[in-house]
Structure 1
Amino acid sequence: MTDELIQNYPINYVAIDQATKQSGFTMASDPKTCALLKTLAGTKPGGKFLELGTGTGLSTAWILEGMDNSSVLTSIDNDPFFYNIAEHFLKDDRLSLVKEDAGEWIQNNKDSKFDLIFADTWHGKYLMLDEVLDMLNPGGLYILDDMLPQSNWPDGHQEKAMRLLELLDERTDLNLTRQCWATGIVIASKK
């Protein structure tokens, strides 16, 4: 086995990827991370999924690819330019794209429960961590990426990432696995 990703990409992936590159968006999820999200989504038939940080929709496309027909995905982003790319390419009745600040959305939906949460923005990762983890059903999966140092990290971000990992390690309600693969993946399951 090699480190090369050989996958069947979601139907709109190439078009979204091209639009992403043309837009100048540099924070798109790594294809390896996306392929893992597809597999993990497949473990939750009839599941309720939450993606915090749609971006241009690359990871969204993969999550949808792994979901069954009775699952639903809510994906949140507040950047209208990038959100519009996702909205243009992702036409799926199982998907609810929400253009809103993630913090406000979390506050307004704190009683909602999910079987899988992919936290790919500040809220749910570095902000409002407890609130988002409270939204996770028992047996639910919480997934983070970009936990290994990245070239586009601003000064001081490595310390934030390390503190987040410490906070997750301290929790007694999660089973946690750190993976030094792709951009650095964390997968936790709720006890």
Structure 2
Amino acid sequence: MTIKHMQQYEVPEIIEKILEESLALGFDMSSEPLTGSLLKTLAASKSGGNFLELGSGAGLSTSWILSGMDEASSLVTVDYDQDLLDIVKRHLGHDQRLEVVCQDGDDFIDSLEGRQFDFIFADTWSGKYRLLDETLAMVKKGGFYIVDDMLPQNNWPEGHEEKAKDLIAYLEGHSDFHVTKLAWASGLMLLVRK
């Protein structure tokens, strides 16, 4: 088996159109396909699951998650950028399993008190660097909390590497979760509530 063979993944058809439109808006921070492939696979393990994506962007990760979900599952995706969410709605809004919310992530997390999810992908500051404990508290027993961009990225602002290191250390030491760090794609952490 070759390395190239191991790197193949099935890409949802809509990805090319979403990527083209997001780049036209100047948005180049979408999750990479390897991350999407993992999200799809993990989503498939949560039959009838309740999913949350913090940081929709233009919907690339959203489309990967939806492609792994069964028909009994539901996904809420949240972002504050209406122009990007218009792309999400145009290409994915027909999917009855999807709820698209335009709101500040911190405010949205604050509004979810008591709600529980089987799967949370935190791909923005809210739920990852801010309101982390509140977000982790929403993960059901056996549920996933996933973050990416844990390896150094070219678009990180000055000082962000220390924030990422602190986040990694905090998550590694969290006693309520099993933790796996993946030095793969942009660097992922996968947590499962005990």
Range into which the TM-score falls when normalised by the shorter chain: over 0.9
Give the letter aligned to residue 35 of structure 1: S
Q: State the shift of 1:6 in Å.
A: 2.3
- Residue number among 53, 58, 68 corresponding to 2:70 in the alignment: 68
Which stretch of the first structure deviates more once superposed, 162-171 or 144-153? 162-171
* Match for residue 13 of structure 1 among 12, 15, 22: 15
Tell me how far 1:117 sits from its aligned partner. Answer: 0.3
**Across the two proteins, how many residue pairs are aligned to each other?**
191
**Matched-pair contact (CA < 8 Å) for 2:11–2:33:** no
**Residue in 2 that maps onto 1:27:** 29
Q: CA deviation at 1:17?
A: 1.2
Q: TM-score, normalised by structure 1?
A: 0.97
Describe the SS at the equivalent of 1:9. coil
Alignment of 1:70-85 (within 5 A): 70-85=72-87
> How far is 1:79 from its partner?
0.8
**How far is the alpha carbon of 1:23 from its aligned partner?**
1.5
Q: What amino acid sits opposite 1:143 in the alignment?
A: I
Instruction: Compute the RMSD of aligned alpha carbons.
Output: 1.0
**Matched residues in 2 for 1:112 and 1:148: separation?**
30
> Are positions 1:126 and 2:124 aligned together?
no
- In the TM superposition, residue 111 of structure 1 has moved relative to its aligned partner by 1.1
Contact 2:10 2:37 in 1 (8 A): no
Q: How does 1:139-154 map to 2 (within 5 A)?
A: 139-154=142-157
What displacement does 1:11 show?
A: 2.7
SS class of match (2:89): helix
Amino acid at match of 1:41: A
> Alignment partner of 1:117: what SS?
strand
Deviation at 1:7, TM superposition (A): 2.5
Shift of 1:5: 3.9
Stretches of structure 1 that go unaligned for 5 or more consecutive residues are: none
Task: Report the AA paired with residue 54 of structure 1.
Answer: S
- The AA in structure 2 aligned to 1:2 is I
What is the identity, as a one-letter code, of the residue corresponding to 1:9? Answer: V
Aligned to 1:55: 57
8 Å Cα contact 2:44-2:70 kept in structure 1: yes
> % of aligned pairs identical?
46
Q: How big is each residue's C-alpha offset from its partner over 1:5-54, in whole Å with a ceiling of 9 and x where there is no partner? A: 42222131111011122121021101100010000000000000000000
2:120 alignment counterpart: 117
The structure 1 residue matched to 2:171, chosen from 154, 168, 171, is: 168
Q: Distance in 1 between matches of 2:108 and 2:150?
A: 24
Equivalent residues in 2 for 1:81-100, closer than 5 Å: 81-90=83-92, 91-100=94-103
Structure 1, residues 102-134: CA drift from partner, whole Å, max 9, x if none? 110110112110000000000110000000000
